[in-house]
Structure 1
Amino acid sequence: MAGGGNADSRSLEQTPTWAVAIVCLGFVLISILIEQAIHFLSKWLKKRKKKSLGKALDKIKEELMLLGFISLLLAVGQKPISEICISKGLGDSLLPCSKEKVLAEHVFDQIGKFLIPGQHRKLLFLEASETPLKRSLATEEPVTGHCAKRGKVPLISQDGLHQLHIFIFVLAVSHVLSCIAIMTLGWAKVKKWKSWEEETKALDYEVSNDPLRFRITRETTFGRRHMSFWSTTPILTWIVCFFRQFVRSVPKVDYLTLRHGFILAHFAPHSKFDFQRYIKRSLDNDFSVVVSISPHLWFYVILFLLLNRHGWFTLFWLSFIPLIILLLVGTKLQVIITKMALDIQDRNPVVQGAPVVKPNDQLFWFGRPQMILYLIHFTLFQSAFQMAFFFWAWYEYGLKSCFHKRVQDIVVRISLG
């Protein structure tokens, strides 16, 4: 590269010292600002006694450290990996895009360079900043390159490794931002329940839930909502609960009933326990789980990169997975509340005071409530992955590339995300 004729590929031997110093200064200043911002946020969370959010911040710092190691390995191993040669037949297998389409786009791009300067875009296997004589159409390797001399192609070219480097960075940033956005919306929703919590301290609430008052279970507000002809048929129950999640996932009567059952299970009957604050702390704990990218999620990324073959439409079908999981989890939670209501009816058709629900782990899939959180974690990551892949492909190859052939595909993926 040092002796190359391309002025855009100068080495540090041919680069002004002031240019190197300015670029290094910029990276150092940005790194220091990020480090100080994280340190300030950590101290602020400790001062506010937000231990769960502090754990979440530690998870974010771990992700940044992992990202730094990946960046270092990609930078150091860029040249050795690009010199690993494979046969042309093996190099043309399981391509994410049609080879004929890439070649056609390449020819069109080269014509556009001469006819309409500045209007061409990046191609899948050709950088827009290099001349057409520098690279081969299919291999992106110079004719005199290490693998070209042997009649082979590189396992991954240096340009491909650079693009992979960018994708991993975009994925990590997208996942953290999506988790922050989702949890912010969750906190906003929990904040709306504060007014309901305040009502429990009023005299009207104590009168309406007088422990000396006897009522038929079905005649209570909670019973009328969940005990009907459809609640005794499993199929109808799932259908009704599926549509209920779109109207109001947590109505006031469900909140107050679940609150009452939780307090009776852990505290004195007339305790003034702040259930809404407890929900906030639980949400903080959940955030420390979902903000991390666990190893099995990284393996999911690798599996997707393997199966993203041209003609399999893997990218399109995987876009529906977060939506399906989201609807399934929302329906299951509604079904659980309905089953707890039916359990009250089975225990006693007449209640004294407010209905008392008894949560049971067996109401969840495989008796594991944590599975709901794992599914939410995977849903957030999958959604972030889809959005990251979209913006990365847009940045690298343009809006209309082989990854997004039709406008309908773009609309579907953005809408589902």
Structure 2
Amino acid sequence: MAGGGGGRTLEETPTWAVAVVCFVLVTVSIVIEHIIHLIGKWLKSKNKNALFESLEKIKSELMLLGFISLLLTVGQSVISGMCISKEVGATWHPCNKKQEETKYPSSVTGDEDRRRKLLAADDGGSFRRILAGGGTDKCAAKGKVPFVSSDGIHQLHIFIFLLAVFHVLYCILTLALGRAKMRSWKAWEKETRTAEYQFSHDPERFRFARETSFGRRHLSFWSKTPFLLWIVCFFRQFVRSVPKVDYLTLRHGFIMAHLAPQSQNNFNFQKYINRSLEEDFKVVVGISPPIWGFAVLFLLFNTHGWYSYLWLPFIPLIIILLVGTKLQVVITKMGLRIQERGEVVKGVPVVQPGDHLFWFNRPRLILYLINFVLFQNAFQLAFFVWSWCEFGIRSCFHEHVEDIVIRISMGVLIQILCSYVTLPS
């Protein structure tokens, strides 16, 4: 199998050096596996079954990434041995031809394809090689270029590793931000136990639906006009996406629909929402085949002339903004249903959610879209860090300053919107 930069093989390497490398790799793997086992054991002891299942799903996804890396290693000689014509190999590059001619000049022998320094970074006027090469180029003798060089395959290994790291970090950050958002709801839950709350929410009190706190927020002239409804709900997701009045109204509607009267006063809706977040987290951390397909398309379109930095990072942003707006629309439509049942309500307005309020009558589609956005965001940031570390901050992948600003700002903004604003809603 092709590999190495023409250095000595294992036949010429001290056995103690090989043993040390293997020992370190095995030790690190065992430590990581033991840490994951301890986390799973702790989750089980706390009866966090949903989070334990999420942990198992993350482990399986890491195994999948490891298997992909293993396939790359095993198939390296086959892939790098496949030859294509120079005309085909010159298409869809991240660099334009002028940049490539500047960064990768022909060698003294005139064989410009032999030992090509793929996307090497400019380091103070000298060209440095990021990764060790992959042996001689057999395709050069045929007047062709490799399908993917050994250097390129080795760089893909590093990208897969960074993708795994970013995916795990984003999963942890998503759950942490979601829980942080819900901590503010504890005070609202405690308030429902007070005599003042019981008095102000007298179940025998009759009021007009539009005069209740929930009605004043959602029942207005704009709520009956679809265009204005979506405009208002779009901006509402940025300012207290779950205000106190919505939380208390949704709490009351859930209790009236699912609990017996004698157990209503002791129910903790905030803890129930917290458990629901853990259940939803199982869906959010998954990586389905369609998501992998979009990740491959991201790699495909990241080519020179497509200006991908101006539109690719905005696709997850547009999706998460649509999801956040839709959730606000759903709450408002539940308020409209209260008014449709009668102008006068007794006690607290009782909201009634339904599948028909969601796209295609599928509430879980919201979770799948959030799942897609979170993974694509992690994928794009992992790609950005990888290209930065491998080829430099001003390489072909992000040669424009606005590209760097857009990718970093979108990565942070989308993560906050997903984890702190939309997912807990």
TM-score normalized with structure 1 length = 0.89
The question of whether the paired residues in 1 share the 8 Å contact of 2:57 and 2:282 is answered with yes
Matched, 1:176 2:165: no
**Out of 80, 86, 89, which is 1:88 matched to?**
86
In the TM superposition, residue 47 of structure 1 has moved relative to its aligned partner by 0.6
Please say if 1:278 is aligned against 2:278: no
Instruction: Note closer, same or farther for the CA distance 1:121–1:178 as it changes in structure 2 (3 Å cut).
Output: farther
> Paired residue for 1:402?
396
Shift of 1:349: 0.6
Identify the residue that residue 37 of structure 1 maps to in structure 2.
35
1:107 to partner: Cα distance: 4.3
Residue 333 of structure 1: which of 324, 327, 334 is its match? Answer: 327
Q: In the alignment, which residue of structure 2 is the partner of 1:65?
A: 63
Q: Is the 8 A contact 1:215 1:351 kept in 2?
A: yes
**What SS is found at the alignment partner of 1:247?**
coil
Q: Which range moved further: 162-171 or 364-373? A: 162-171
Q: Which moved more, 1:347-356 or 1:20-29?
A: 20-29
- What is residue 143 of structure 2 aligned with on the other side? 151
Structure 2 residue identity aligned to 1:250: V
Contact (CA 8 Å) 2:182, 2:274: kept in 1 or not? yes
Q: Could you tell me which of 307, 312, 316 is aligned with 2:310?
A: 316
Question: By how many angstroms is 1:98 displaced?
Answer: 1.4
Which residue does the alignment assign to 1:380? 374
Partner AA of 1:235 in structure 2: F
Match of 1:218 among 201, 205, 210: 210
**1:46 counterpart letter in structure 2:** K
**Contact preservation (8 Å) 2:295, 2:376:** no
Matched residue of 1:293: which SS? coil
Q: Separation in 1 of the partners of 2:261 and 2:367? A: 30
Residue 198 of structure 2 corresponds to residue 200 of structure 1: no
1:109/1:120 contact within 8 Å kept? no
Map of 2:417 onto structure 1: none
Where does residue 177 of structure 2 map in the other structure? 185
Q: Which amino acid aligns with 1:265?
A: A
Decide whether the 8 Å contact of 1:122 with 1:396 is kept in 2.
no
Q: Determine the C-alpha separation between the residues in 2 that align with 1:306 and 1:334.
A: 35
What secondary structure, in the 3-state scheme, does the structure 2 residue paired with 1:289 have?
Answer: helix
Whether 1:303 and 2:301 are equivalent positions in the alignment is no
Amino acid at match of 2:397: F
Instruction: Work out whether 1:245 is the aligned partner of 2:219.
Output: no
Letter in 2 for 1:59: K
Q: Relative to 1, partners in 2 of residues 1:370 and 1:309: Cα closer, same or farther, differing over 3 Å?
A: same
Amino acid at match of 1:25: F
Aligned counterpart, 2:339: 345
Residue 393 in structure 1 maps to residue 387 in structure 2: yes
| C-alpha deviation, 1:14, in angstroms | 2.3
Kept after mapping to 1: 8 A contact 2:334/2:353? yes
1:14 to 1, 12, 15: 12
Gaps of 5+ in 1: 111-116
Answering whether residue 285 of structure 2 is matched by residue 287 of structure 1, we say: no
Secondary structure of 2:311's aligned partner: helix
Relative to the length of structure 2, the TM-score reads 0.88
Taking a change above 3 Å as real, the CA distance of residues 393 and 108 of structure 1, as seen in their structure-2 partners, is farther
2:118 aligns with: none
Q: Which amino acid aligns with 1:369?
A: P
What is the aligned partner in structure 2 of residue 366 from structure 1? 360
CA distance 1:273–1:100, shift in 2 (3 Å)? same
* Whole-Å separation in 2 of the counterparts to 1:11 and 1:305: 33
* Identity fraction in percent: 61
**Among 229, 246, 264, which residue is 1:254 paired with?**
246
Give 1:129 deviation, angstroms: 6.7
Q: d(CA) in 2 for partners of 1:349 and 1:109?
A: 83
Cα shift at 1:119: 4.1
Structure 1: how far apart are the matches of 2:107 and 2:54? 46
Q: What is the rounded CA distance, in whole Å, between the counterparts of 1:333 and 1:416 in structure 2?
A: 21
One-letter amino acid matched to 2:385: F
Equivalent position SS for 2:237: helix
C-alpha separation in 2, matches of 1:218 and 1:411: 45
The 1-side partners of 2:384 and 2:301 are apart by 17
For 1:318, what is the secondary structure of its paired residue? Answer: coil
Q: How far off its partner does 1:282 sit? A: 0.8
Whether the 8 Å contact between 2:309 and 2:403 is mirrored in structure 1 is: no
* Mapped partners of 1:120, 1:28: distance in 2: 40
- What do the CA deviations read for 1:95-121 (whole angstroms, capped 9, x no partner)? 2221331220234999xxxxxx97467
Q: Secondary structure at the match of 2:207?
A: strand
1:335 and 1:24 mapped to 2: Cα distance? 56
State how far apart, in whole Å, the 2-side matches of 1:42 and 1:254 are. 35
How many pairs align? Answer: 395
| Maintained 8 Å contact 2:51/2:278 | yes
Indicate conservation of the 8 Å contact 1:59/1:292, yes or no: yes
Partner of 2:111: none
* One-letter amino acid of the structure 1 residue matched with residue 168 of structure 2: V
2:76 is matched with 78
Distance 1:188 1:55, change over 3 A: same
Q: Distance in 2 between matches of 1:250 and 1:264?
A: 20
8 A Cα contact 2:229 2:329, kept in partner? yes
Paired amino acid for 1:213: R
